[in-house]
Structure 1
Amino acid sequence: MNEILEILEEILPNVDCAGCETLVDDGYLTSFELVRLVTELGDAFDVAIPASQIVPENFNSVQAIDALIKRLEGEE
């Protein structure tokens, strides 16, 4: 989960990413930043995030992103 947090903090340096549970809902992660995040997560964890999984509930918090990555890693 630390690697996810590091990636998020690089993309959103002025946001308390560790404590935020509404990164998408509150507009911190815009579509541009979400594309960057998906790309960086894919590279860091060697997973492909399908378009069907790019929904707010999967990206609103570090915990949600971690759960998504674990699900995707389990599918490989």
Structure 2
Amino acid sequence: MKEKIIEILTEIRPEFEFNESIANFMEAGYLDSFDIISIVVDLETAFDVKISGALIVPENFKSIEAIANLIQLSKDASQV
């Protein structure tokens, strides 16, 4: 899952090298609110999930781990 997330992030912002050593992509200037919209669409397609609008907050896009948790949370919510 993490490899696919990195692939999506790199497609959107190829000028940056996304990895787990970056503490916060938003604070580091790697991503902005406009990027988040594209990322959500790509994540929903790649992982066959629907991400709730309530979950589209900067904290959920600050790291690879946060994005992976968001995907898992969205998957779990769709199974209820």
Tell whether the 8 Å contact from 2:61 to 2:67 is kept in structure 1 after alignment. yes
Q: Which residue number corresponds to residue 34 of structure 2? A: 32
Unaligned runs of 5+ in 2: none
Partners of 1:49 and 1:74 in 2: CA distance: 11
**Shift in Å at residue 21 of structure 1?**
2.3
Tell whether the 8 Å contact from 1:58 to 1:68 is kept in structure 2 after alignment. yes
Please tell me the root mean square deviation across aligned C-alpha atoms, in Å: 1.2
Unaligned runs of 5+ in 1: none
> Larger radius of gyration, structure 1 or 2?
2
**Shift in Å at residue 73 of structure 1?**
0.8
Q: TM-score, normalising length from structure 1?
A: 0.88
Q: TM-score, normalising length from structure 2?
A: 0.84
AA aligned opposite 2:27: D
2:38 aligned with 1:9 = no
Work out the number of aligned pairs and report it. Answer: 76
Partners of 2:48 and 2:24 in 1: CA distance: 25
Q: After the TM superposition, list the runs of 4 or more consecutive aligned residues in structure 1 that deviate by more than 4 angstroms.
A: none
**Secondary structure, counterpart of 1:20 in structure 2:** coil
Partners of 2:23 and 2:10 in 1: CA distance: 14
**Shift in Å at residue 26 of structure 1?**
3.0
AA aligned opposite 2:6: L
Identity over aligned pairs, percent: 39
